Amino acid sequence: MTNTAAPPVNFDMGRVISAGFGVLVRRPLPILLLALALGYLPAVAVGWATGHLAGPAPQPGVAPDLGATFQRLGIIECIAFVAAGFSWILHGGVAVVATADAAGRSAEIGDQLTRLLTRSPLIFVTGIVATLAIFLGTLLLIVPGVLLSLAWIVCPAVAAVEGKGFMDIFRRSAELTRGNRGALFGIALLFGIASIVLSFVLRLAVGVPMLATGALPPLLTYVLQPALSAALAAIIASIYAAAYLELRGVKEGFVAGGVASVFD
């Protein structure tokens, strides 16, 4: 979308995925550095925290202690909420890179990412709040959680690129995604399935069943799984950044040159 002479008329999944991989190929260094700092390192921390703070996993054939089980699940969810905050900052940073690339302002990527630091606390908190709301919506009837996640899928890009306030981040994302959430669901589903399959293949490669309980090999917990998570995070963040730009093109008629105004 970002290199066309005219704005897109309709949201196109294929074009968005292609554009996402395109920005990753053109700007690998900043995106991979963001994935390292905000994808790999948090995944390592999550692996450690899950193993050391959440307590032992229930063992097959042993009657579970319901109190300990709920406590473990609560700790795991809290860890996941914190990790989601870092993930939102990653997605926001990649959106900044993609927007600068689309605007022909790649020389400003470093400066824009530095400015992102001032927005990071808000993005972090917003990510935690949104993830908690989606989690509660999923617990209720599943569908509300899915609808919220699709409506808010470009919240990190809105927060990072447009500098909106807390409530306006959600409103703006819902406005941009309205009418195109089916296609966004297709993208999320595609990469969700790919993530599960790749995780399954990785575990099989190191001899660990997908549903294995108990302590996992340190190589898997602290190196291989975090590396896979970071790589997938870089890809999906690039695609969601491309989706954000595509949605602005469809809704507002933005083209490559017009995106430059966000940096002025």
For the chain, which residues make up each domain, given as ranges? Answer: 14-55+66-263
Return the axis-axis angle of helices 181-205 and 225-252, rounded to nearest 10°. Answer: 170
For residues 76-83, average pLDDT: 91
Determine the residue type at 253: G
Q: What is the DSSP string of 42-78?
A: HHHHHHHHHHHTS-PPPPTTS---HHHHHHHHHHHHH
pLDDT at site 244: 96
For the beta carbon of residue 82, count every other beta carbon within 10 angstroms. Answer: 18
In the chain, what percentage of residues exceed pLDDT 90? 65
pLDDT band at 206 (very low <50, low <70, confident <90, very high): confident
Question: Where does residue 213 fall: left (phi above 0), alpha (psi -120 to 50 degrees), or beta otherwise?
Answer: beta
108: Cα separation from own chain's centroid: 23
pLDDT at site 257: 53
Question: Where does residue 215 fall: left (phi above 0), alpha (psi -120 to 50 degrees), or beta otherwise?
Answer: beta
The kind and range of the H/E element at 145 are helix 143-151
